[in-house]
Structure 1
């Protein structure tokens, strides 16, 4: 049974966690040599008339009949595997058919090679598939400079006063004279690149395979010794920022965006608690493999229960028995979106008992950081106490939790025990009490009430002060962008299997709901909605050079039926001009009618 046996495999553990939500009576294992259905789903099948599946067990039957398709599959191949042919096997079958068919003698002296196919449009458009040609030859530069009005204006100025000018016009080309090094008076001639060729040049020096999609500084240093144009560094930066592959694959070396949003401290104990699982650990003789941890956000009081699994049923039972029946019903429970917390059973339990269950943002454990920090604290302590077999950790769980609850917390400056019970804890090492004084109930109640009010007030002040210190340090030099609805962004991809996978989403995401720092995005293609934190969002940059090319204010077309041209406005001014034209005609008609 995979639920009870010890398996040192994280993948099997994740599968068992997912399967615990279902009532599975039996799992049947099929050996790899007989489990042909797994390969069938990923292979291209050859149609066969006979039935090759066992409907009861999904195992291939023995099939001795002749296949009805051309080209028989060898008998040594299993029946189902024979119906599945890979590309390499298909080539072998095709070669066998060609050899068995009638051969035609070939005169090797008259062999003609097929013509080389021209590059397709897709190859021409994809700069990553081919190495770019020399698109910036001198003739094209002269033609494009002749079309550029700014360059023509500069040429006219150079022709008037060539001595004092920082430009030089030679052999039909305009050059920019630049001092390349400080302290050196020698000027270098750089080609003045026309605006129509800037985008093509940046594609060659950045997106080409020989350019390697490197950053702004490398690209700028390659270009600056050969070409020049106004605001060159700025246009290079904008172009590289708008490169989609760079946005999907590059890793940001700066701090992740989004400033710290501290959770305000509650008014008292057990109003807000955090809940999370820790594990899996090595199975103990009692059958325990996980620890369910619960932490109070005000007192920092911790409750931990060793459990055999992390199913929804086990979670509900442990929460009810170990926490609610001992400390009462909390106002709010905060947890992650794991299947053991986010399920129908836990939702029904929250409605039945009467508490609010909120969930942290996906892939953002900082939302429930207090319980995550406790998990990182108590695991090393248990590891120091367990035996050599590492299978009796549950025997030390409660003592370690007791030691944590009776120690002074660095944030509140009080122990969780003192904030909960209003007194200092008595430890076994304190020894026997020499004298004991009985007090009146009213005196004890009044003193406890004053003491609890005093230490709770100090604890709240300490929590707020510490949160302010953490926030100041966390927010230092950290960007905090804000996005609005309909903004197009990229979302970080988690759980990547391979190194060469894109780090951010392949398709753009559209923000449909904004509640900074949490946003709800929708995929443009699949229309799937996801809630993400601003840490996992990257804006999509669009180059201004591409926008200038695509922008068209209006277009004049000649209608075949009339001699007057009709103007089609492609922007928002079209309706405005049409409405003005209609209003003028109406006013003109009214004036004629009045006369």
Structure 2
């Protein structure tokens, strides 16, 4: 067994002994039986098509079934073919073909789908899809170079209960430089209301990021916590001092795990998708449409909360330009009288409390649905990544330990 330390990620590669493999994967026994049956069936088909003879001891029903099955095959130059694909006699021959189509230099260690497509268009054998899947997953080189096949953990949703409890920040770019020299977009998303702030940046220095964080604070007040990745534009002495001075808790995502800040990643995606549809052919005027894009994101009902971020922040829905009368004189605007402000404020507070309560309930329901959907997706994966005592494992060597060896496999260990 290889040593385990805090810098290693472990995942099951394959069982160290045949006994372990059979205990971990009961289908191994069935595979061995299937291989024997495969050789036998090929011989039966060959004898029937070449000589018209049946295996000794076959009754009338067995002969009929074999003849029906043989109708799919043709005999050509001593080889069996089914719909133009050569039928492979034994698992040993099939494994040799797999080595050529996957493990050799011309195979290129392609994934399951590409390897299976290339082979199934040329060859046929009983259970070939299952075999190819297993052989690719068992490939030593692919395991060391590919993404670690770790068992997925239950989905952990971030819990928030009020506006500005948690704000996630992220950076988009570099983008095509605009006329004014902007190349980046700093985004900030409130995890409760889903309100989005975004600023065009010329550089992504700590000073410029810190200046725009201050702009957010001036408009909305201090958030309780700020979440970001480990980029040096976010994690630095300047911004750390700013947060400490304002009693703002700082959280950062784990390395190689940006999913923690998934809401801001989604925000960045939404902004980019909107800008792509608005910019000119040179893509150098995206900054002109950034504010309008933010208005769209803020004023539309959010699928998780079932309310618009605008309502959550202002206690009313946004008024679109088309809703405003063109020639409305100022004298027609109705303003509350001074004596009604207290009642107006009481009603607004009660209304916002109801909205806040419904939003919290909607977020909770949405997170429950996400957990259930996620659990279904990973259930099958987890069944295939269970490890057992005595199994060999690979360990992941982090980039800082690999230095400049960029084509070195990420996973290490002997198989």
Q: TM-score, normalised by structure 2?
A: 0.59
Show the counterpart of 1:180.
Answer: 40
2:375 matched to 1:475?
Answer: yes
2:266 to 359, 373, 393: 373
2:192 matched to 1:305?
Answer: no
Show the counterpart of 1:173.
Answer: none
Alpha-carbon offset, residue 324 of structure 1:
1.2
In structure 2, C-alpha distance between the alignment counterparts of 1:240 and 1:401, rounded to whole Å: 46
8 Å CA contact 1:334, 1:357 repeated in 2 = yes
1:282 partner SS: coil
Alpha-carbon offset, residue 475 of structure 1:
2.3
Alpha-carbon offset, residue 491 of structure 1:
2.8
2:411 matched to 1:505?
Answer: yes
Show the counterpart of 1:438.
Answer: 336
CA separation of 1:242 and 1:437: change in aligned 2, threshold 3 A:
closer
Show the counterpart of 1:404.
Answer: 297
8 Å CA contact 1:265, 1:463 repeated in 2 = no
Larger radius of gyration: 1
**Could you give the per-residue CA deviations for residues 351-408 of structure 1, whole angstroms, max 9, x where no partner exists?**
1221111111222221111111111111232233334443222122112111211111
1:323 partner SS: helix
2:199 matched to 1:293?
Answer: no
2:239 matched to 1:346?
Answer: yes
In structure 2, C-alpha distance between the alignment counterparts of 1:447 and 1:454, rounded to whole Å: 11
CA separation of 1:488 and 1:343: change in aligned 2, threshold 3 A:
farther
2:109 matched to 1:248?
Answer: no
8 Å CA contact 2:166, 2:223 repeated in 1 = yes
In structure 1, C-alpha distance between the alignment counterparts of 2:352 and 2:273, rounded to whole Å: 33
**Could you give the per-residue CA deviations for residues 31-88 of structure 1, whole angstroms, max 9, x where no partner exists?**
xxxxxxxxxxxxxxxxxxxxxxxxxxxxxxxxxxxxxxxxxxxxxxxxxxxxxxxxxx
Alpha-carbon offset, residue 442 of structure 1:
1.8
CA separation of 1:293 and 1:502: change in aligned 2, threshold 3 A:
same
Show the counterpart of 1:78.
Answer: none
Alpha-carbon offset, residue 181 of structure 1:
3.0
Show the counterpart of 2:283.
Answer: 390
Task: Flag structure 2 segments of 5+ consecutive residues without an equivalent.
Answer: 1-35, 45-53, 58-91, 117-132
Show the counterpart of 2:213.
Answer: 319
2:384 matched to 1:490?
Answer: no
- Higher mean alpha-carbon deviation, 301-310 vs 418-427, is at 418-427
In structure 2, C-alpha distance between the alignment counterparts of 1:382 and 1:238, rounded to whole Å: 43
2:152 partner SS: coil
CA separation of 1:358 and 1:475: change in aligned 2, threshold 3 A:
same
2:361 matched to 1:461?
Answer: yes
- Higher mean alpha-carbon deviation, 403-412 vs 345-354, is at 345-354
Alpha-carbon offset, residue 305 of structure 1:
0.8
Show the counterpart of 1:450.
Answer: 350
Show the counterpart of 2:158.
Answer: 264
Aligned runs of 1:486-565 on 2, under 5 Å? 489-491=394-396, 501=407, 504-506=410-412
8 Å CA contact 1:288, 1:394 repeated in 2 = yes
8 Å CA contact 2:160, 2:166 repeated in 1 = yes
In structure 1, C-alpha distance between the alignment counterparts of 2:275 and 2:144, rounded to whole Å: 42
In structure 2, C-alpha distance between the alignment counterparts of 1:501 and 1:350, rounded to whole Å: 40
CA separation of 1:394 and 1:242: change in aligned 2, threshold 3 A:
closer
8 Å CA contact 1:293, 1:305 repeated in 2 = yes
8 Å CA contact 1:382, 1:393 repeated in 2 = yes
In structure 2, C-alpha distance between the alignment counterparts of 1:404 and 1:238, rounded to whole Å: 45
CA separation of 1:415 and 1:239: change in aligned 2, threshold 3 A:
closer
1:181 partner SS: helix
CA separation of 1:178 and 1:420: change in aligned 2, threshold 3 A:
closer
**Could you give the per-residue CA deviations for residues 8-28 of structure 1, whole angstroms, max 9, x where no partner exists?**
xxxxxxxxxxxxxxxxxxxxx
Alpha-carbon offset, residue 503 of structure 1:
5.2
Alpha-carbon offset, residue 488 of structure 1:
5.6
8 Å CA contact 1:279, 1:291 repeated in 2 = yes
Aligned residues: 291
Asked which structure has the greater RCO (Cα within 8 Å, sep 6+), the reply is 2
8 Å CA contact 1:179, 1:186 repeated in 2 = no
8 Å CA contact 1:337, 1:360 repeated in 2 = yes
8 Å CA contact 1:262, 1:467 repeated in 2 = no
CA separation of 1:395 and 1:505: change in aligned 2, threshold 3 A:
same
In structure 2, C-alpha distance between the alignment counterparts of 1:240 and 1:369, rounded to whole Å: 31
Alpha-carbon offset, residue 306 of structure 1:
1.0
